[in-house]
Amino acid sequence: MECRFLPSLLFGLYLFASCQSVTTDPLIAEVYNKKLYQSEADRSIPPMTSSSDSVLLRNAFIERWIRESLMMVEAEQNLPNDLALEELVEDYRSSMILHHYEKRLVEHLLDTIIPLDELQRYYDENKSQYILESVIARCRFIKIDADIPSKRIKEIEENWTTTDEKKFRKVLSLCNQYSSSFYLNDSIWHDIEEIKAEMPPGSVNNAVVRNNRELKISNDSGYFFLKILEVKDEEEIAPLTFIEEQASKVILHRRKLELLEKIKEDLYDRASSQNRIKVYTG
């Protein structure tokens, strides 16, 4: 007798589970045969979002989903008859799997430390590719707000061009405390337009740039100190320190390609030795 009631019991449990699913995850939008449920919309809301913002974000997500779904329906209805969709999907799947695996290999195996001699060697071999498109300069520059105590601005004024390490550290400390912008690393190159933008309008001209002059300016907005140490003109070869980041990226990209090529060759050799590769001709 009990066995006869088992199918009915299972069917009732199925209906109950279905009702629970609908109740806990209600349908909130529908476009043709595409459905959007509450849980999917909820996942689009970042944690700790206020209730008012949540409503705005959820409504925006729903509107976006509707428009994208309509576009997808239209695309599906207008697929070319000769479109090999399954092949495209499989190609995309394969490329994504390969991409993520190669990314993991690179993250775990690529040596990202570039010794200075390797960087210098790359620069010597390729510096003709790095031609400046604008004037650059090494400089010392300090911009101080007008409300700095007079004693502190005097200390900066007396020591900002110093080569004495102790005095330089004092200037650096004062800049960290009072300056809204400063460049004190003598080895770093800056685009001259970047320097001009920091200074009062019209204060930096060709004479200042070419003759390595010092500028000390004060106005209602604050105090400005500028000393040009060295200049490189347009069409000159960029110094290594100016293109170091670009050069490092190129070196790492080359390493990445070499690493992946070696892994592919190792896999090929291993598969060949295990007789896992078969090529059929005929």
Assign 3-class secondary structure to 70-117: HHHHHHHHCCCCCCCHHHHHHHHHHHHHHHHHHHHHHHHHCCCCCCHH
Residue 16 has pLDDT above 60, yes or no: no
Query: Which pLDDT score, from 0 to 100, does residue 127 have?
Result: 95
Element at 194 (helix H, strand E): helix 192-198
Query: How far, in Å, CA of 11 to CA of 8, rounded?
Result: 5
User: For residue 282, what pLDDT band results from cuts at 50, 70 and 90?
Assistant: low
Q: Which of 232, 247, 264 is the last residue of a domain?
A: 232
Q: Which is it for the CA torsion 160, 164, 169, 170, positive or negative?
A: negative
Find the mean pLDDT for residues 237-255: 96
Q: pLDDT tens-digit profile of 196-241?
A: 999 999 899 888 888 878 899 999 889 999 999 999 999 999 999 9
Instruction: Tell me, yes or no, whether 199 lies in a domain.
Output: yes
Query: How far, in Å, CA of 186 to CA of 110, rounded?
Result: 32
Query: Which of 10-19, 36-45, 111-120, 143-152 comes out lowest in average pLDDT?
Result: 10-19
Pair (72, 145) in one structural domain: no
Instruction: Tell me, yes or no, whether 241 lies in a domain.
Output: no
Find the mean pLDDT for residues 239-246: 95
Q: Which of 187, 216, 232 is the last residue of a domain?
A: 232
Task: For residue 65, give its domain range.
Answer: 22-77
Find the mean pLDDT for residues 81-86: 80
Pair (137, 58) in one structural domain: no
Pair (59, 146) in one structural domain: no
User: For residue 10, what pLDDT band results from cuts at 50, 70 and 90?
Assistant: very low
Query: How far, in Å, CA of 41 to CA of 47, rounded?
Result: 13
Query: How far, in Å, CA of 217 to CA of 238, rounded?
Result: 30
Query: How far, in Å, CA of 77 to CA of 61, rounded?
Result: 24
Pair (145, 214) in one structural domain: yes
Instruction: Tell me, yes or no, whether 265 lies in a domain.
Output: no
Query: Which pLDDT score, from 0 to 100, does residue 205 have?
Result: 85
Residue 103 has pLDDT above 60, yes or no: yes
Instruction: Tell me, yes or no, whether 98 lies in a domain.
Output: no
Query: Which pLDDT score, from 0 to 100, does residue 209 have?
Result: 86
Query: Which pLDDT score, from 0 to 100, does residue 221 have?
Result: 86
Instruction: Tell me, yes or no, whether 104 lies in a domain.
Output: no
Question: Percent of the chain having pLDDT more than 90?
Answer: 69
* Domains of the chain: total: 2
Pair (72, 137) in one structural domain: no
Pair (57, 148) in one structural domain: no
Instruction: Tell me, yes or no, whether 194 lies in a domain.
Output: yes
Query: How far, in Å, CA of 197 to CA of 184, rounded?
Result: 17
Query: Which pLDDT score, from 0 to 100, does residue 12 have?
Result: 53
Residue 3 has pLDDT above 50, yes or no: no
Query: How far, in Å, CA of 7 to CA of 142, rounded?
Result: 84
Instruction: Tell me, yes or no, whether 215 lies in a domain.
Output: yes
Pair (69, 147) in one structural domain: no
Pair (158, 226) in one structural domain: yes
C-beta of residue 137 within 8 angstroms of C-beta of residue 189: yes
User: Is 153 strand, coil or helix?
Assistant: helix
Pair (141, 228) in one structural domain: yes
User: For residue 280, what pLDDT band results from cuts at 50, 70 and 90?
Assistant: confident
Query: Which pLDDT score, from 0 to 100, does residue 13 have?
Result: 46
Task: Quote the mean pLDDT of the chain.
Answer: 88
User: For residue 47, what pLDDT band results from cuts at 50, 70 and 90?
Assistant: confident
Residue 2 has pLDDT above 50, yes or no: no
Find the mean pLDDT for residues 80-85: 80
Query: How far, in Å, CA of 136 to CA of 181, rounded?
Result: 18
Q: Which residues pair with 214 in a beta bridge?
A: 227
Instruction: Tell me, yes or no, whether 51 lies in a domain.
Output: yes
Residue 191 has pLDDT above 60, yes or no: yes
In sequence order, the 6+-apart residues with CB closer than 8 A to the CB of 218 are 224
C-beta of residue 119 within 8 angstroms of C-beta of residue 247: yes
Residue 83 has pLDDT above 90, yes or no: no
CATH classification of the domain holding 167: 3.10.50
Query: Phi and psi for 188 in degrees, rounded to 5?
Result: -90, 135
Q: Which amino acid is at 268?
A: Y
Strand boundaries in the chain, DSSP class E: 27-31, 34-37, 136-145, 179-183, 189-191, 214-219, 222-232
